[in-house]
Amino acid sequence: MHVTVLSGAGISAESGVPTFRDVETGLWAKVDPYEISSAEGWQAHPERVWAWYLWRHYLMQGVQPNNGHRAVAAWEDHAEVHVVTQNVDNLHERAGSGRVYHLHGSLFEFRCDRCGREYLGELPDMPAPVEAVEPPKCAFCGGQIRPNVVWFGEPLPESAWQKSVEAVANADFVVVVGTSSIVYPAAGLPELALTNGIPVKGNFLMLTLCTILYVAATTGPKVS
């Protein structure tokens, strides 16, 4: 059986993942959200955008997967599971999911804003949030290193999108969890499934059942 899970911010909420508004405090209270989530904002103030995303990168390192992530990963014992996520965290992977496609990129990947090469170098330490940090420079072209996330006005990563479309088109059924499915083009994936006659289970119904089964299997009495 081929199962495709479409996940959004809601699945990570139980882990304590801060939303955009949660971190809009202190230094960031007066910052225009568009400024730190758009290519235009990056061009105008890269040191401010870099500081914001670098802080979120370190913040996310202290967050752990919850039973929802683990339930999705546990499905792989019984089916071929593909996870299409709009989240920029890596909680699905850390829970054990093997096929995860990030439509909006990842806070744990970085690349040059000029040549596009992946950046694997060291990141500046950030024990506390600050207003501005100068981004590292690319060793190949001198461009600035940016987070590999999708900002307003940017296209989705082609490879992740194509794999997501194929995962939905080839699924026996699709589960939508933690997302309202109103942001396109990701919101078009459930529609694609329905158009092809593939059942779509919305919200947390199916995931809740699997979470209960997961918890029971991992905490209940063992059969010897």
All domains of the chain in start order, with CATH: 1-16+66-104+156-224 (3.40.50.1220), 18-62+110-149 (3.30.1600.10)
Report the 10 Å Cβ neighbour count for 12. Answer: 25
In order along its 224 residues, the chain shows pLDDT tens digits of 999 999 998 899 889 876 555 555 555 566 777 888 999 999 999 999 999 999 999 989 989 999 999 999 999 999 999 999 999 999 999 999 999 999 999 999 999 999 999 999 999 899 888 889 999 999 999 999 999 999 988 999 999 999 999 999 999 999 998 887 667 888 899 999 999 999 998 754 445 545 444 444 455 444 33
Amino acid letter for position 135: P
Radius of gyration of the chain from its Cα atoms, rounded to whole angstroms:
19
Q: Which two tokens stand for residue 196?
A: 């092809």
Catalytic, 104? Answer: yes
Pick the catalytic residue from 57, 69, 92, 104: 104
- Report d(CA 224, CA 222) in Å as an integer: 6
Q: What is the DSSP letter of 141?
A: T
Helix (H), strand (E) at residue 84: strand 80-85
Give the CB-side neighbour count of residue 201, counting CA atoms within 13 A: 16
Give CA–CA dist 105/115, Å, rounded. Answer: 17
Q: Which residues contact 35 (CB under 8 A, 6 or more apart)?
A: 41, 44, 45, 48, 49
Owner of token pair 């999108």: 161
Length of the chain: 224
Amino acid identity for residue 28 in this structure? W
Residues 6+ apart with CB under 8 A from 214: 67, 70, 71, 74
pTM, full prediction: 0.86
Q: How far is CA 190 from the centre of its chain?
A: 18
On the CB side of 136, CA atoms within 13 Å amount to 18
